[in-house]
Structure formats: structure tokens, C-alpha cells
Amino acid sequence: MNFDWTDDQLAYRDRMQAFALEHLSDDVIDRDERSEFAEDLWQRAAEFGILGLYIPTQFGGKASADIQTAMLAMEALGYGCSDGGLLLALNAQMWAVQLPILHFGSEFQKERFLPRLCDGTWKGAHGITEPSTGSDVFHLQTTAEKVDGGYVLNGSKCMVTLAPICDVALVVASTNPAKGKWGLSTFLVEAEQEGFRRGANHLKMGLRTVPIGELHLNNCFVPESHRLGKEGGGFATFNHSLEFERCCILASQVGAMQRQLETCVRYAKERSQFGQPIGKFQSVSNRIADMKVRLETSKLMLYKVAWLKSQGKSAMMDAAILKLYLSECYAQSSEDAVRIHGGRGYLCENGIDRDWRDAIGGVLYAGTSDIQRNIIAGLLGV
Amino acid sequence: MTDTDPMKKLMSFIQHELMGNQTDPISKDDDLLGGGHIDSMGIMRLVAFLETEFGVSVPPADVTIENFETPQTIADYVQAACRGRS
């Protein structure tokens, strides 16, 4: 077992971190208050190659990182960029939109969509959740009726990351309701398609800087060339994509936990009460020690899952454990950071509270913690 | 029991591991997912079982009704995969 990164991997991580610190930090506190997406930061990130780091050059990507290096880079991104909404937007598009197109798409689809997504021109959303089906995802109501030359889609999706500003959406719909889970198919729906409507951005507790909303399909024709994978292959694309998403989408939170820890250590040394730095009080130092333990154990799980995927191995169990553990660790450490900063942590003007509000989103999206526990127990045969 | 005859191991895994030793036995032509015998998690466990037990690789795009509807279609898929490997 070798825990060393290569010099090239570390250099790539350092470049990512330096870029994020210099170019992806702005007035996020104000934008959070306004629930405003940073279009300029999105473009900067795309130009640096973040969106395309795992996509082959022939499809507009940079192909600059294997999956392990990509995880290390996304961790560094989370350290340097404190805009949790932007991080979710980037990660959601990379792992839940681009990757399914790369893995299941036809040459036409890869050539049409991936270059536009990688260079930031287009934004992609993945519509799964519906008003009546959340975690019970396979009982979705959206239908795709086969017609001459394609399909006619009807239905609605909700809680979709980037939906209000997306240019293309992956939409899971039933092509054969009688076949249940085997009757699902996935489609690439372009925003300009007649009958496709994007909903407004929801006001949220956290992750305010990423637009999240609904997608509506009303007799929306989608050509056959835009079906992703086989008809009836929606079950496969869904499971594969969600496993990959669980593996990758929280890597940036590890970097955020490192940043958070350093901030808390610094504050615990600088802030004095009762004649000594507050870090000398065990009620503070124990919290910091727990944050360090959560950070290191989360890192180990992330790296193990990245290694499994790099070997082409299944990571069903490990991905569920990672998603559950890492998201809960980040939420707990974010709460600890607020407690360590006391009243200052509670004031929005210092930005400490934002991590906590953002972190709660992480225990909900890409499968809630309870769903991850169901997966873990199910894989144990319980 | 060889790779050319995976049905016995397959049926045993489905009956005992995925269905929890339910008294009603399944037949080789039962619709596993559509018939409610196993759930979507069961399909994923089944994929992992095939890869481990029979040494076949199951690409995500192959997890379709054509290959995974019944024990018979799964056995046929495994046999074809084993032939392709040899």
C-alpha cells in the first residue's frame, strides 16, 4: 500500500490550489446574500480546464488528470475556492452530466455536447428527482412516447442543480411504463427545444450561489439521436452515473475541511479570553482535534474510492460509505467551526456560517445520508 | 459446475442471498425485477456476484432487460461473456 502522490500529481494539485486562491475568490458573502451565480468565475474555471480535466482532448477536454489526480485536484479546488455553490455547480456538471455522456454517449453526442460543456459555453443539468419521487427515484412519472424520428417527453423534474440556467439537460423518463425500472431511458434535451421550460431559482438555506430549480417538459420532442444509451438503458446509466457521482462530487469538501481547520487553528491561537488563547481550553482544542480526525479519515476514504475507480473496480459499497461519511463530517466540522468562532461565526459577514449552511446540502443531494445507509445495509444483505 | 453452466450457482445466489431464503422458489424464466423478486439493489449485487464468481466483466451498458430479466437470460449472458473471454 503506497500513500505517496507522484511529483506530477502534487504539482498539478498545487497549480489548481494557486489558481483557485487567486482567481476563484471574490465577494462570495455578498453573492450568497443575493443568491447570485458567478458567471465570470464559472468561465475562469472552464478556461483553466477544470470542467474538462477528465475529458479526452478529442471531445474538448484537457485530459490532464486520471481519476485519482482529478480527485486530488478537486480537493485543492475546494481548499482555494470558498464558494460552495460554485463548487457544487462545477462538480455536478462534471460528474453527473459530462461523465454519463462520455461513458454512454454516441460519437455524435460526445462531439456535440462535451466541447461546449468543457469550455463553459453550455451548462448541463441532470434531472432525476420529480415532485412525487425523491429518493424513490425509479417510480418517476415523466414519460417518453416513441414517435417517428424520436420521442415526445412529458413531465417535470425538480431540485435540479443548474436547471434555471442550463443549456442541456439529461432527463430520465419512462419509455415503457409496463416494464418498470427496465422501461427507463435517458435523454439529452436542449434548452431551445420546443416544450422545454426551465423554472426559476429557489431561495435556499445554503448553496445559494448555485441555481437550483425545476425543468418542465410539455410535449417536448427529442430526436432519437439525443437518447443517451439504449432504449430501456436508463436503469444502467442512472446507477453507473450515481455511483460515480457519489465517488467524486464531495472531493472539494475535503479541501474545504482543510481550509476550515486552518482557519479555526489560527483563530484559536489569536483569540484570547480569560488571559489566554482560547485554544488552551480543552472545549475548543478537542473540537479542533475532532475536525482533524474527520479530515484525515475522509481523505483516506476519498483516496480509496478514487483508487478503486482508477482500477476499473466497482465501488458501490465504498462510494456509499464515502458519501455518507464525508458529507456528515463536513457538516459536523462546519458546525464546530461556528462554535469555535462563537458570535463571530454566527455573523454572515465573516463567512463562517456559510460553510455550515452549504454543508447541510451535502447530506441531502446525490442521495441523502439515510439512502446511503440503505445502500450499505442492502449490500450487506440486510 | 463450470462456467458453461452457471445456472445452479446463479439460482442459489438469487434464492438465498437476494431473496433471503423465501419459501417460494423462483424458476429460471421468472422476471426478477419486474416480478418484484429482487429490487434495484439486488441487480447491482447480482452484477458484483457475476464479476466475482464467474470472472466476467459487466459493463454498465450491459445491465439491460435483455441480459438481466430472468435467471435464464443472465445465465446466457454469462456464458456468452465467458466464451468471449476464452
- Sign for the CA dihedral angle at A185, A186, A192, A198 comes to positive
pLDDT band of residue A101 (cuts 50, 70, 90) is very high
Mean pLDDT computed over A145-151:
97
Instruction: Report pLDDT for A62.
Output: 84
Residue A154 confidence class, pLDDT cut points 50, 70, 90: very high
How many other C-beta atoms can be found within 10 angstroms of the C-beta atom of residue B29? 10
Arithmetic mean of pLDDT, A141-164: 97
Please check the confidence at residue A14 and state whether its pLDDT lies above 90.
Answer: yes
* A 122-151: CB under 8 A from B: 138
CB atoms within 10 A of CB B69: 19
Which backbone phi and psi does A228 adopt, to 5 degrees? -90, 115
pLDDT at A185: 94
What number of other Cβ atoms are within 10 A of residue A163's Cβ?
A: 26
Average pLDDT over residues B38-58: 87
**Class of the CATH domain delimited by A125-233:** mainly beta
DSSP label at residue A159? E
**Is A283's pLDDT higher than 60?**
yes
- pLDDT interval class at B2 (50, 70, 90): very low
Burial of B60 (0-12, 13-18, 19+ CB in 10 A): buried
Confidence of residue A52 (pLDDT cuts 50, 70, 90): very high
Name the β-bridge partners of A172: A186
Instruction: Name residue, grid cell 434464492.
Output: B15
* A330 in contact with chain B, both atoms CB, cutoff 8 A: no
Q: Does pLDDT of A51 surpass 50?
A: yes
The model's pTM is 0.92
Is the pLDDT at B32 greater than 70? The verdict is yes
Distance CA A101, CA A109 (A): 7
Question: How many angstroms separate the CA atoms of A98 and A89, rounded?
Answer: 12
Tell me if A236 and B69 make a contact (CB, 8 A cut-off): no
For A58-92, what is each residue's pLDDT tens digit?
Answer: 999 987 778 899 999 999 999 999 999 999 999 99
Closest-CA distance of chain A to residue B64, Å: 6
Query: In chain B, what is the straight-line distance between the N-terminal and C-terminal CA atoms, in Å?
Result: 17
pLDDT > 90? residue A333: yes
Mean pLDDT of B42-57: 88
Instruction: Say if A176 is an interface residue toward chain B (CB within 8 Å).
Output: no
Beta strands at A276-277 and A272-273: parallel, antiparallel or unpaired? antiparallel
Query: How much is the pLDDT for B1?
Result: 43
Per-residue pLDDT at A314 exceeds 90: no
Contact A316 B69 (CB under 8 A): no
Average of per-residue pLDDT across A144-162: 97
| pLDDT category of residue B23 using cuts at 50, 70 and 90 | low
> Span B50-75, mean pLDDT?
89
What is the pLDDT at residue B17? Answer: 85
How is domain A250-379 classified at the CATH fold level? Butyryl-CoA Dehydrogenase, subunit A; domain 3 (1.20.140)
Question: Nearest to residue A266, comparing CAs of A275, A255, A258, A256?
Answer: A258
Average pLDDT over residues A333-350: 96
pLDDT at B4: 57
Select A7-123's CATH number: 1.20.1530.20, 2.40.50.100, 1.10.540.10, 3.20.20.70.
1.10.540.10
Question: Which residue of B lies nearest to A179 if distances are taken between CA atoms?
Answer: B34
Q: What is the DSSP string of A188-233?
A: EEETTSTTEEE-PPPP-SS-TTS-EEEEEEEEEEEEGGGEESSTT-
| Structural domain boundaries in chain A | 7-123, 125-233, 250-379
**Number of residues that make up chain B:** 86
Q: Which residues of A touch B22 (CB under 8 A)?
A: none
Catalytic annotation, residues of A: 245
CATH level 2 (architecture), domain B7-85 = Orthogonal Bundle (1.10)
* Rounded Cα distance, A127 and A116, in Å: 19
pLDDT mean over A1-19: 92
